[in-house]
Every structure is written in structure tokens, then in C-alpha cells.
């Protein structure tokens, strides 16, 4: 899976792809419009962060590339690529329970607190890709 050279883009299936973990210096792009929402991305080797309408949506340390990122009322799904294991934080609905699937394997259920943040660790090697699904229970 290639990195996202343009930092963020809308795919033909109306998902978004973003992030370039191969960059040595922090690079930002603001006011990217997709489906009526404004996105801001900050990405490089150490971190990838995506905001939607001014609120955190996704953050990984170290940086990652994300493909086919889709958020619905009940699910968040995407493919993630990186050069090493990554910690990914998503801002979801507060005080809710979610089932976490990594590469179609159940990685456990997690509850968000008042802030709505859910953090998962994803095992990645140099250029490995994992499929992530977070399903609201």
C-alpha cells in the first residue's frame, strides 16, 4: 500500500486516505473538504494526526498511512500501514463500548470514557498493512 503523497485525498468509494510516515519533517494540510466536512492532517515519521471540523478524529504514533478511512454511526474502518508497531487513538462516542478487530481477528472489547478516546496498539513491521474495524456494541 503506497503512502499518500498528497497528504489527504478522497477515494472513489467516498472514503478518505491520508498520512505519509516516510516524511522526515512535519507536514500539514488544512481545510481539505470532503462530503461537507473540513479536515486537517499533520503527518511525518513521528506522528499522523487527522482532525475533522476542528476535533481529533485519528492520531498515531509513530506516523502511519491510512487508506479507505470510513466513519459511520456504528463503525470505523480503515487500512493502516507503518514502519513499526503503532499506537492509534480515535475519538469516538463517549461512554460507549466497541468491539476491536485487527486483520479480522477479535482483539477485545473496549469502553470509551467521557472524552470518547479509544486507543489501540497495532503490530506493524516495515511496510506492513493491517485492516482495522471498530464496531459499536
pTM score of the predicted model: 0.93
120 C-beta neighbours (distance < 10 Å), count: 18
* pLDDT, mean over the chain: 94
Domain 8-136, second-level architecture:
Sandwich (2.60)
Query: Which residues are within 8 A (CB) of 2 and not within 5 positions of it... i.e. 6 or more apart?
Result: 65
pLDDT at 91: 96
pLDDT of residue 125: 84
Ramachandran region of residue 46, left (φ > 0), alpha (ψ -120 to 50) or beta?
A: alpha
Amino acid at each position: 500500500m503506497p503512502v499518500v503523497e498528497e497528504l489527504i485525498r478522497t477515494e472513489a468509494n467516498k472514503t478518505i486516505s491520508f498520512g505519509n510516515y516516510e516524511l522526515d519533517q512535519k507536514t500539514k494540510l488544512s481545510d481539505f473538504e470532503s462530503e461537507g466536512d473540513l479536515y486537517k492532517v499533520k503527518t511525518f515519521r513521528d506522528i499522523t494526526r487527522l482532525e475533522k471540523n476542528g476535533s481529533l478524529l485519528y492520531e498515531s504514533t509513530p506516523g502511519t498511512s491510512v487508506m479507505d478511512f470510513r466513519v459511520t454511526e456504528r463503525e470505523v474502518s480503515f487500512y493502516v500501514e507503518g514502519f513499526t508497531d503503532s499506537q492509534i487513538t480515535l475519538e469516538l462516542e463517549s461512554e460507549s463500548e466497541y468491539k476491536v478487530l485487527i486483520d479480522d481477528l477479535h482483539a477485545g472489547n473496549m469502553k470509551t470514557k467521557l472524552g470518547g478516546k479509544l486507543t489501540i496498539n497495532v503490530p506493524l513491521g516495515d511496510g506492513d498493512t493491517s485492516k482495522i474495524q471498530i464496531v459499536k456494541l
